[in-house]
């Protein structure tokens, strides 16, 4: 079958006939599944747990601030109607 694509869920490698290198196939699978590189996940485990908590708290505050900004912009847009 010409142009067939085989996708497996999990850590299996995706077969796409127009890409021949296994590294390219692995990178494409990571992009399609939005999965980070394994080395990035290993680095997270090496960080001190309190540093992880601080970083995630900052991320949470930033996301909450962006959410409030979005609510305010939506309200301003609705007020002009």
CB 30 within 8 A of CB 37: yes
- pLDDT of the residue at 16: 54
How is the chain split into domains, by residue range? 1-45, 47-81
- pLDDT of the residue at 14: 55
> Which of 13, 39, 38, 35 minimizes the C-alpha distance to 25?
13
Per-residue pLDDT of the chain (81 residues; tens, 9 = 90+): 444 455 444 555 555 555 556 677 677 776 666 666 677 767 777 888 899 899 999 999 999 999 999 999 999 999 988
How far apart are alpha carbons 40 and 34 in whole angstroms? 13
- pLDDT of the residue at 10: 52
Q: What is the pTM of this model?
A: 0.50
């Amino acid at each position: 079958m010409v142009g067939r694509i085989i996708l497996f869920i999990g850590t299996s490698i995706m077969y796409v006939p127009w890409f021949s290198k296994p590294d390219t196939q692995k990178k494409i699978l990571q992009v399609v599944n939005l999965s980070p590189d394994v080395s990035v996940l290993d680095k997270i485990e090496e960080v001190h747990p309190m540093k992880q908590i601080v970083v995630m708290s900052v991320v949470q505050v930033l996301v909450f601030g962006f959410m409030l900004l979005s609510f305010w912009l939506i309200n301003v847009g609705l007020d002009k109607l």
